[in-house]
Amino acid sequence: MVTTANPPAAPAPGAKVNLIGLEKNDYKGNPSTLCQGCGHDSISAQIMAVAYELSLPPHRIIKMSGIGCSSKSPAYFLNRSHGFNALHGRMPSVVTGATTVNSDLVALAVSGDGDTGSIGLGQYKHLLRRNVPMVYIIENNGVYGLTKGQFSATADMGQKLKYAGTNELPPIDLCMEALIAGCGFIARSFAGDAKQVRELLKAAFNYKGTAVLDIISPCVTFNNHEDSTKSYTYGKAHEERLHDITFVPKFEEINVDYEPGTMINVKLHDGPTIQLHKLGEDYDPTDRTAAMRRLEEAEAQQEFMTGLIYINEGRPTLGEVQHMVSTPLVQLSPERVRPSREALVRMMTDLS
């Protein structure tokens, strides 16, 4: 958890600041060049809000992305964080390298359904298998926005698009893919559901492994007609929340108490809690088989289900299985990484 990493700086007189003395403005990015109303921009807004609320030190965040409208969006938030706009579908490998050598960094990745589900599917699956510590947001609009409206691998079967015609292939469910790849934090949300996106993001930032957020994010230019399951209208009309989710930071007391059975508390590794308030159904996101069944159902019934689908902090992260020294590798002194003259002599004698 990184919220209190930095000594609070002196707040600008009068300005409203967070725990580390930063203002909302310190989390801003460049003006967006995306289309007016693009779902991706509303997600960017939530990212900025959450980073501020959680008092994340911007310099410890790295913004990672592939290629696409979605992957452009890191330029539109957190200007005080380093960013890496990688190659199409290859962001996961870059994050793996960066986070492994510097465990102090908090990786926030933004990708698209094409970037992750089409060209990037292999890297996505192998990243999840390694449980690389990061927040992995998929801004899922069912099309290739930046190349003007072709079907992506998450487009629904039978869906029609102006130029691309009718999609005759079944969609890839990136949450199900994550689940069977051993991912321990899987959520689906909707760019139109700001509060849920925010709470899920907070939880994700506090999860120790790979946290996947598959957020339906309408492409207003190429895939926002009523009959598209990735449109605002469809989303607003059909979203089915699994629960109401609230993130409670570790320093906040939970003193309200609820009737038994109306809420599930999920404690995270270093303190904070995710509160899941029961809605229609009984759903336990810590039960992997249940999650699988529920995803199956939702797909079969074309149900737009959102919320925290699965959470489990049990698996070790890639960093953990590397058995590294606690100091981030990039901070090791020359002496610790270049063995001594004597060591070389020893090797040479052993070899001769």
Partner 1 sequence: MVSTVDVATRPQAAPDRAQPDNVNDFALVAATVNGSGSQTANATLLRALFKMGIPVTGKNLFPSNISGLPTWYTIRVSKDGYTARREKTEILIAFNPATAEADLAAMPTGGVCIYRNDIRFAARRDDVIYCALPAKEMAKASGADPKLLDYMANMVYVGAVAELLGIELDEIKAALLFHFKGKAKAVGLNYGVVEAAAAYTRENMKEHVPFHVERMNGTAGRLLIDGNSAAALGAVFGGVTFGAWYPITPSTSVFDALTEYLGYLRRDEATGEATYAIVQSEDELAAIGMVLGAGWAGARAMTATSGPGISLMTEFAGMGFFAEIPAVIWDIMRMGPSTGLPTRVSQGDVLPVYYLGHGDTRQVCLLPGSVAECFRFGWEAFDLAERLQTPVFVLSDLDLGMNFWMTAPFEYPDKPMDRGKVLDAEELRAAGEFARYRDVDGDGITYRTLPGNSAPGAAYFTRGTGHNERAVYSERPEDWEQNLARLFKKHDTARGLVPAPVVDQHPGARVGLIAYGSVDPTIVETRDRLRTTGLETSYMRLRALPLNDTVHDFIAAHDVVYVVELNFDGQMRQLLQLHCPEHAAQIRSIAHCDGLPLTARFVTEAILEQEKKGHRNGHNG
Q: Which does 59 bind (CB under 5 to 8 A by kind): ligand SF4, Mg ion, partner 1, none?
A: partner 1
The CA distance from 295 to 298, in Å, is: 5
* 232 lies in the site for ligand SF4, by CB under 6 A: no
The CA distance from 134 to 148, in Å, is: 29
Q: How far is the CB of 312 from partner 1 (least distance, A)?
A: 23
Q: Which does 38 bind (CB under 5 to 8 A by kind): its own copies, ligand TPP, ligand SF4, none?
A: ligand SF4
Q: Which stretch binds Mg ion (CB under 5 A): 27-35, 141-149, 275-283, 294-302?
A: 141-149
* 9 lies in the site for its own copies, by CB under 8 A: no
Report how far apart, in Å, the C-alpha atoms of 125 and of each of 87, 132, 170, 263, 295 are. Answer: 17, 11, 19, 32, 18
Region 212-231 residues binding ligand TPP, contact defined as CB under 6 A? 219
Amino acid residing at 105 = L
Q: How far is the CB of 39 from ligand TPP (least distance, A)?
A: 9
Q: Which stretch binds its own copies (CB under 8 A): 144-152, 164-172, 242-250, 262-270?
A: 164-172
- If you write DSSP's letter for every residue of 265-282 in order, what string do you get? EEE-TTS-EEEEEE-SS-
Q: How far is the CB of 342 from partner 1 (least distance, A)?
A: 9
Q: Find the helix or strand (DSSP H, E) in which 181 lies.
A: none
The CA distance from 63 to 84, in Å, is: 6
Q: Which does 34 bind (CB under 5 to 8 A by kind): Mg ion, ligand SF4, its own copies, none?
A: ligand SF4
> Which two three-digit tokens encode residue 318?
């890639």
* 165 lies in the site for its own copies, by CB under 8 A: no
Report how far apart, in Å, the C-alpha atoms of 43 and of each of 66, 234, 255, 272, 327 are. Answer: 17, 18, 31, 23, 33
Q: Which stretch binds its own copies (CB under 8 A): 123-131, 144-152, 305-313, 326-334?
A: 123-131
Q: What are phi and psi of 175, to 5 degrees?
A: -75, -45
Q: How far is the CB of 301 from partner 1 (least distance, A)?
A: 27
Q: How far is the CB of 115 from partner 1 (least distance, A)?
A: 11
Q: Which of 30, 107, 134 is nearest to 73 (CA)?
A: 30
In the bound state with ligand TPP, the residue whose beta carbon lies nearer, of 56 and 191, is: 191
Among 3, 99, 116, 141, binds Mg ion (CB under 5 A): 141
Q: What is the 3-state secondary structure (H, E, C) of 82-107?
A: EEEECCCCCHHHHHHHHHHHCCCCEE
Q: Which does 255 bind (CB under 5 to 8 A by kind): its own copies, partner 1, Mg ion, none?
A: none
Residue appearing with tokens 């009068």: 14
Q: What does the binding site for its own copies look like in residue numbers (CB under 8 A)?
A: 118-123, 125-126, 129-130, 153, 168-170, 172-173, 176-177, 180-182, 288-289, 292-293, 296, 315-316, 321
